[in-house]
């Protein structure tokens, strides 16, 4: 598809259940030291610490006027209520959270999140003017059974269904093959491109050219500094959702600086 819209890459660090609030402060100070004005001009950067760290990280971002965006890993779809242990999107937005991951495969597989839950969360996140990073992806068994397209496109359709073009334009969708998460096995850049290109085609079909050209599509699954440049060279890959390799600030900084790496 010809492309009139320049999509700014987005590198997101999903820390999962790592780094307490002291560690996250140290991490962010180091990351801010390693990244330059040019890096932030070339690439958006979000960090997604555990909930207990968010207030501390927000305070540091504000005080030092850091260009890093604050992200969360999850939220509930209601503003408030009797939901022991859950976190409201309204509370996240009060803390200047800008990106919220939803439907991560660990939430889907370990905590029973369904496509319907994910759809409600997307609406709630957007209601508070935050950006959802919607995760989709297939298991190894599904891949081997030739069901990748069916699974991923089903998740994408459910996430997009009933939304306006404007709502879809501002979303981020992360394709994360489950077999590649935390395993050291990355999809080849051409495999990742094939699925991510198909996601963009699905957006085109459901919402038209503007949404398809604007929506940012990330790849996730064992991304590291050594493979990011090759992934980012693919036409439809607009960034990465990085787990393990984002835990080290120097490695994550090198991922953000992918444009400086020589592509093999």
Give the binding range for ligand PGA (CB under 6 A) out of 2-10, 83-91, 142-150, 217-225: 217-225
Please answer whether residues 17 and 49 qualify as being in contact, where contact means their C-beta atoms are separated by less than 8 angstroms: no
Which one among 54, 124, 212, 241 touches ligand PGA, defined by CB under 6 A?
A: 241
All residues at 6 or more sequence positions from 174 whose CB lies less than 8 Å from its CB, including other chains: 12, 101, 133, 134, 135, 136, 217, 218, 219, 220, 241
Q: Residue number with the shortest CB distance to ligand PGA?
A: 243
Give the length of the chain.
264
Q: Is 111 in the site for ligand PGA (CB under 6 A)?
A: no
- For the bound state, the minimum distance from the C-beta of residue 11 to ligand PGA, rounded and expressed in Å, comes to 12
Give Cα separations from 6 to 147, 213, 232, 236 (angstroms).
32, 8, 14, 11
Among 92, 148, 244, 254, binds ligand PGA (CB under 6 A): 244
At its nearest, how many Å lie between ligand PGA and the CB of residue 14?
4
Question: Which of 86-94, 117-125, 239-247, 254-262 is the region at the interface with ligand PGA (rule: CB under 6 A)?
Answer: 239-247
How far apart CA 237 and CA 67 sit, in angstroms, is: 22
Structure token pair of residue 112: 């029973």
Binding status of residue 142 toward ligand PGA by CB under 6 A: no
Task: Please report which residue ranges of 64-138 form alpha helices under DSSP H.
Answer: 89-94, 105-111, 115-127
Give, for 112, the enclosing helix (H) or strand (E): none
CA-angle at 111, arms to 131 and 144, nearest 5°: 90
Q: How many residues bind ligand PGA (CB under 6 A)?
A: 13
DSSP 162: T
Choose, by CB under 6 A, the member of 118, 223, 255, 256 that binds ligand PGA.
Answer: 223
Q: What is the DSSP letter of 178?
A: G
CB of 36 to ligand PGA, least distance (A): 24
Residue closer to ligand PGA, measured from CB, 28 or 180: 180
Under the criterion CB under 6 A, does residue 220 sit at the interface with ligand PGA? yes
Task: Give strand pairing partners of 99.
Answer: 71, 131
Q: Is 207 in the site for ligand PGA (CB under 6 A)?
A: no
Cβ atoms 76, 124 nearer than 8 A: yes
Q: For residue 250, which of 18, 21, 60, 13 has the smallest C-alpha distance?
A: 13
Stretch that binds ligand PGA, among 29-37, 53-61, 195-203, 221-229 (CB under 6 A): 221-229
Q: Which residues are catalytic?
A: 104, 176
Rounded to a whole number of angstroms, the minimum distance from the CB of residue 223 to ligand PGA is 5
45 three-class SS: strand
Q: Which is nearer to ligand PGA, 113 or 176 (CB)?
A: 176
- With respect to ligand PGA, which residue has the nearer C-beta, 103 or 220? 220
239: contact with ligand PGA by CB under 6 A: no
Asked whether position 126 contacts ligand PGA by CB under 6 A, the answer is: no
List residues binding ligand PGA (CB under 6 A). Answer: 14, 176, 181-182, 220-223, 241-245
């Amino acid at each position: 598809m010809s492309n009139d819209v320049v999509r700014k890459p987005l590198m997101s660090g999903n820390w999962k259940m790592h780094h307490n609030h002291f560690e996250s402060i140290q991490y962010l100070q180091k990351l801010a030291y390693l990244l330059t004005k040019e890096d932030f001009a070339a690439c958006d950067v979000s960090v997604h610490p555990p909930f207990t760290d968010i207030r501390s990280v927000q305070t540091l971002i504000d005080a030092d006027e850091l260009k890093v965006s604050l992200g969360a890993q999850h939220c509930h779809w209601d503003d408030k209520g009797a939901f022991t242990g859950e976190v409201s999107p309204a509370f996240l937005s009060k803390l200047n959270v800008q990106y919220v991951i939803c439907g991560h495969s660990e939430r889907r597989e370990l905590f029973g999140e369904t496509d319907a839950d994910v759809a409600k969360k997307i609406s709630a996140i957007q209601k508070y003017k935050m950006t959802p990073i919607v995760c989709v992806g297939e298991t190894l068994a599904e891949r081997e059974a030739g069901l990748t397209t069916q699974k991923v496109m089903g998740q994408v359709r459910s996430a997009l269904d009933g939304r306006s073009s404007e709502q879809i334009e501002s979303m981020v969708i992360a394709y994360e093959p489950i077999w590649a998460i935390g395993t050291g096995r990355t999809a080849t850049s051409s495999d990742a491109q094939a699925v991510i290109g198909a996601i963009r085609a699905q957006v085109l079909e459901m919402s038209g050219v503007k949404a398809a050209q604007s929506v940012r599509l990330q790849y996730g699954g064992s991304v590291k500094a050594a493979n990011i440049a090759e992934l980012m060279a693919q036409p439809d890959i607009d960034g990465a959702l990085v787990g393990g390799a984002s835990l080290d600030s120097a490695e994550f900084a090198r991922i953000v600086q992918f444009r400086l790496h020589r592509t093999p």
